[in-house]
């Protein structure tokens, strides 16, 4: 029973460490991907307030705390190639801004991002859906202005795919493409205008405050990443807390095993306890003995679980690939989880907190049997020996 108690504590601690590490990885990678692609603050350009977006860009960049501001267009299109048709989002950006975007530039897997002015860049999953490679041409169809009753047809134009990126986030790899801002303005009839301005700041925690300052300075609507991506952040935070609470129950169950184990020992060792009491052992010393036994079980299980959890967390991606190859079952579908690989960040403070929690619960589990052992009456026990 002591062995099962140790295994129970170890499994609970290891599971908690692995789950918390995965949740940390999910949160960090999601924020890095989303913020690297979308910017920290989004300013919706309003031509009626100021028709010169270059002047607006300069005014925003003068605000303390703002790292840079970039203009862009953002439109939905229909993409056709090789008899395949899918919906996509086209972002028009300047070549300079695209090359400065390390999230895109560092994740180009095919083609040459330096040739951005010659065509467009699309996501890897989008390329797979259309069955195309870099260097192929695709047809962009703008649904704006289409009216079947009046006889208007959507605007169509072919563009060359000069590069393909794979950010590891399915939502973007499957729907996003980049186009030179000059081409985007011409295709979507922007003329000398843009859809919005993306702002990057030094401290992302100050994004809300800077968004208010930008809105006051420009008179245009500005939204920070906290408000735009709050559903992602809040969902991850809630899920992390709930998972921690649920998986803690594994340790609680293991702690009850310690209780039952020590209570059985108390019943089996009644005579030994009585003899020790007659030799002068106090109730406190008896309690300390059983507390030490329970803490030894908890400490052993906690150390074993911590080692298993840390090793598993550091090698979880290799383990996932190994299990998928053996079972031929997709354990981590990027269409569901947004990422193509399982992100893990092992935080030492989480390991310390989980270990401390396991030891605390183990200590609490020793109190009822220790009190039971200390309450034994040696006279009544030895009377029938």
**What pLDDT, in 10s, does the model give residues 173-193?**
888 999 999 888 888 888 778
Q: Could you list the residue range(s) of the whole structural domain that residue 156 is in?
A: 47-220
Q: Do residue 268 and residue 319 come from a single domain?
A: yes
Q: Do residue 16 and residue 51 come from a single domain?
A: no
Strand segments, DSSP code E, in 286-381 are none
**Which of 219, 217, 213 shows the shortest CA–CA distance to 65?**
213
| Model pLDDT, residue 339 | 60
Residues 301 and 83: their CA atoms lie apart, in Å, by 59
DSSP 330: -
Least confident of 94-98, 149-153, 232-236: 149-153
| Model pLDDT, residue 369 | 84
Determine, yes or no, domain membership for 295: yes
Q: Is the pLDDT of residue 68 over 80?
A: yes
Determine, yes or no, domain membership for 225: no
Q: Do residue 208 and residue 141 come from a single domain?
A: yes
Least confident of 61-70, 144-153, 214-223: 144-153
Residue 325 class from Cβ within 10 Å (0-12 exposed, 13-18 middle, 19+ buried)? exposed
Determine, yes or no, domain membership for 42: no
Residue 146 — very low, low, confident or very high, per pLDDT cuts 50/70/90?
Answer: low
More confident residue, 109 or 329: 109
| Model pLDDT, residue 302 | 92
Least confident of 63-72, 158-167, 226-235, 258-267: 226-235
Determine, yes or no, domain membership for 37: no
The SS3 of residue 136 is coil
Q: Do residue 17 and residue 153 come from a single domain?
A: no
Determine, yes or no, domain membership for 126: yes
Q: Do residue 206 and residue 292 come from a single domain?
A: no
| Model pLDDT, residue 121 | 93
Report the domain count for the chain: 2
Residues 299 and 24: their CA atoms lie apart, in Å, by 26
Q: Do residue 190 and residue 279 come from a single domain?
A: no
Q: Do residue 252 and residue 281 come from a single domain?
A: yes
Residue 337 — very low, low, confident or very high, per pLDDT cuts 50/70/90?
Answer: low
- Work out the mean pLDDT of the chain and round it to a whole number: 83
Q: Do residue 210 and residue 242 come from a single domain?
A: no
Determine, yes or no, domain membership for 39: no
Q: At what angle do helices 207-218 and 53-61 cross, to 10 degrees?
A: 140
Q: Examine the fold and report which residue of 160, 189, 220 is the final residue of a domain before the chain moves on.
A: 220
Q: Do residue 100 and residue 184 come from a single domain?
A: yes
Residue 163 — very low, low, confident or very high, per pLDDT cuts 50/70/90?
Answer: very high
Determine, yes or no, domain membership for 254: yes
Least confident of 54-68, 201-215, 235-249, 304-318: 235-249
- Token reading at 149: 């009753």
CB 165 within 8 A of CB 98: no
Q: Is the pLDDT of residue 334 over 60?
A: no
Q: Do residue 152 and residue 22 come from a single domain?
A: no
Determine, yes or no, domain membership for 40: no
Q: Which contiguous run of DSSP H or E holds residue 160?
A: strand 155-165
Q: Do residue 332 and residue 368 come from a single domain?
A: yes
Q: Examine the fold and report which residue of 183, 199, 220 is the final residue of a domain before the chain moves on.
A: 220
Q: Examine the fold and report which residue of 220, 253, 278 is the final residue of a domain before the chain moves on.
A: 220
Residue 303 — very low, low, confident or very high, per pLDDT cuts 50/70/90?
Answer: very high
Q: Do residue 246 and residue 178 come from a single domain?
A: no
Least confident of 68-72, 144-148, 302-306: 144-148
């Amino acid at each position: 029973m002591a062995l099962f108690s140790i295994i129970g504590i170890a499994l609970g601690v290891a599971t908690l460490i692995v789950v918390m590490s995965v949740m940390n990885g999910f949160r960090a990678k999601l924020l890095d991907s989303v913020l690297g692609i979308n910017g920290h603050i989004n300013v919706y350009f309003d031509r009626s307030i100021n028709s010169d977006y270059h002047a607006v860009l300069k005014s925003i960049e003068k605000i303390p705390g703002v790292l840079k501001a970039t203009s862009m267009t953002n439109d939905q299109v229909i993409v056709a190639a090789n008899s395949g048709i899918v919906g996509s989002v086209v972002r028009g950006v300047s070549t300079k801004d695209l090359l400065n975007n390390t999230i895109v530039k560092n994740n180009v897997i095919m083609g040459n991002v330096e040739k951005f002015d010659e065509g467009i860049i699309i996501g890897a999953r989008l390329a797979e859906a259309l069955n195309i490679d870099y260097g192929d041409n695709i047809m962009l169809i703008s649904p704006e202005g289409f009216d079947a009753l009046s006889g208007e047809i959507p605007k169509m134009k072919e563009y060359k795919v000069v590069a393909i990126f794979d950010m590891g986030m399915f939502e973007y790899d499957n729907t996003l493409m980049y186009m030179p801002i000059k081409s985007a303005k011409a295709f979507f009839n922007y003329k000398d205008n843009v859809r919005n301005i993306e702002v990057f700041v030094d401290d992302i925690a100050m994004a809300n405050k800077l968004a208010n300052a930008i809105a006051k300075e420009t008179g245009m609507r500005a939204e920070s990443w906290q408000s735009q991506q709050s559903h992602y952040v809040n969902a991850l935070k809630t899920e992390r807390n709930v998972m921690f609470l649920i998986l803690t129950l594994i340790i609680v169950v293991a702690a009850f095993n310690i209780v039952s184990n020590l209570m059985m020992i108390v019943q089996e060792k009644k005579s030994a306890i009585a003899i020790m009491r007659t030799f002068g052992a106090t109730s406190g010393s008896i309690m300390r003995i059983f507390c030490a036994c329970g803490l030894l079980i908890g400490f052993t299980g906690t150390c074993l679980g911590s080692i298993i959890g840390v090793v598993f967390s550091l090698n979880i991606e290799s383990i996932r690939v190994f299990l998928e190859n053996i079972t031929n079952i997709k354990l981590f579908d990027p269409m569901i989880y947004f990422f193509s690989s399982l992100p893990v960040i092992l935080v030492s403070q989480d390991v310390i907190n989980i270990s401390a929690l396991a030891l605390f619960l183990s200590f609490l589990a020793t109190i009822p049997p220790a009190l039971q052992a200390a309450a034994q009456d040696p006279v009544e026990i030895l009377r029938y020996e």
